[in-house]
Structure 1
Amino acid sequence: MKIYDVEGFPNPARVRIALAEKGAMDQVEFFTVDVMGGEHRTEAFKARNPDATVPYAELPCGTSISQCTAITEYIDGHFDGPSLIGDTPTQRAKTQMMNLRAESGLVDAVGAYFHHATPGLGPDLETNQNADWGEMQKLRAVSTMRYLDSVLAEAEYLAGDQFSVADITAFAGLGFADFAKVEIPSDLSNLKAWREKVSARPSVSG
């Protein structure tokens, strides 16, 4: 399996944490994409990944997979170890629901703020910016943080009692928020405690 990404970016981090949770980092080759140089927007790159995003995966059979949720679905099913999505239909549905909420409300919202309402990755890459839209998405990200805090008041992890891809996505989203200077409100004690707990996991700290 090959992963094309940029280490340290939020979505690549989601895939790398999932691989580490499965103990599969040594079974994957990583290739760095020159995002700052616009490699992801070249025709050669888009021929393999029309989304023009990182990460994307090339499976041993030659199939290309993009979108983090799809890649982590493959990782969860292909490699040994406890499932990051769930073993029952109910648990899998709940995990995917929370994963999508964390993705759209936090990762994507912070991304929209970063790319539209700040200098982002610079003028060569940040075109067609809409600052008002970006500021609205910043508010959405903070609202999502409050929602996640309320969920964590009732559960150990975002989808219940077990660590899952929903936690991975939210954790990466908070890291992106730090980078974009979107602060976690000081009163969200449940979210902050959960973040400290996840930070101590070997897949994150190692």
Structure 2
Amino acid sequence: MKIYDVEGFPNPARVRIALAEKGATDWVEFVPVDVMNGEHRSAEFKAKNPDAVVPCLELEDGSYIAQCNAITEYIDAEFDGPSLTGKTAKDRARIAMMNLRAENGLLNAVSAYFHHATPGLGPDLETDQCAEWGHKQKHVAARTMAYLDAVLADTAYLAGDEFSVADITAFAGLAFADFAKVEIPATLENLQAWRAKVAARPSIAA
């Protein structure tokens, strides 16, 4: 298997963490994509992933899987190890729900702020910016952080007692918030404690 990505970018990080949690990192060849010079928008790359984003997974049969949630779903089903997407119907539904809340309300919201309301990746890549939209999404991210803090008052992890893809997504979202200079209030003590706990996991600490 090959994964086309950029090391350190938030969505590629989600996939790399999932692979590490499953002990499957050595099964994958990582192929760097030169996003800063627009390689992801080239005809060659868009033939692999018409979304023109990373990460993108290439399977041994030559087929491709894009979209981060789809890739992590495949990884979780394909490799042994603790389930990241849930075993029972209820667990799977709850994890999917919390993962989407973390993705839409935090990671994607921070991304919208970064790409629309700041210089982002520079004028060659940041086209069709809408600063008003970006600033609104910054407020969405702040509300989501407060919501996640409230959830973590009652559970060890975002979807219950077990670490899941929802935690991976939220952790990547907070890392992106740091990079984009979106404040993570120190008053959100549950979120801060959860973040420190997750950061110490071998899949991330390494």
The TM-score by the shorter chain falls in which range? over 0.9
Separation in 1, partners of 2:146, 2:162:
21
User: Which runs of structure 2 are paired with 1:81-92 in the superposition (5 Å)?
Assistant: 81-92=81-92
Q: Which residue of 2 aligns with 1:154?
A: 154
Matched, 1:139 2:149: no
User: 1:186: Cα distance to partner?
Assistant: 2.1
Q: Which residue of 2 aligns with 1:6?
A: 6
Structure 1 stretches of 4+ moved >2 Å: none
User: CA RMSD for the aligned pairs?
Assistant: 0.5
Q: Deviations over 1:91-150 (max 9, x none)?
A: 000000000000011110000000000000000000111111000000000100000000
SS of residue in 1 equivalent to 2:116? helix
Q: Which residue of 1 aligns with 2:33?
A: 33
Aligned residues: 206
SS of residue in 2 equivalent to 1:36? helix
Q: Which residue of 2 aligns with 1:79?
A: 79
TM-score scaled to structure 2, two decimals?
A: 0.99
Q: Which residue of 1 aligns with 2:55?
A: 55
Q: Deviations over 1:32-91 (max 9, x none)?
A: 000000000111111110000000100112220001100000000000101001110100
SS of residue in 2 equivalent to 1:77? helix
SS of residue in 1 equivalent to 2:157? coil
Separation in 1, partners of 2:87, 2:61:
26
Separation in 2, partners of 1:160, 1:36:
38
SS of residue in 2 equivalent to 1:157? coil
Q: Which residue of 2 aligns with 1:98?
A: 98
Separation in 2, partners of 1:107, 1:51:
18
5+ unaligned residues in a row in structure 2: which ranges? none
Q: Which residue of 2 aligns with 1:110?
A: 110
Separation in 2, partners of 1:85, 1:15:
13
SS of residue in 2 equivalent to 1:54? coil
Q: Which residue of 2 aligns with 1:163?
A: 163
Matched, 1:180 2:176: no
Q: Which residue of 1 aligns with 2:24?
A: 24
Separation in 1, partners of 2:193, 2:82:
23
Q: Which residue of 2 aligns with 1:129?
A: 129
Separation in 2, partners of 1:6, 1:171:
17
SS of residue in 2 equivalent to 1:31? strand
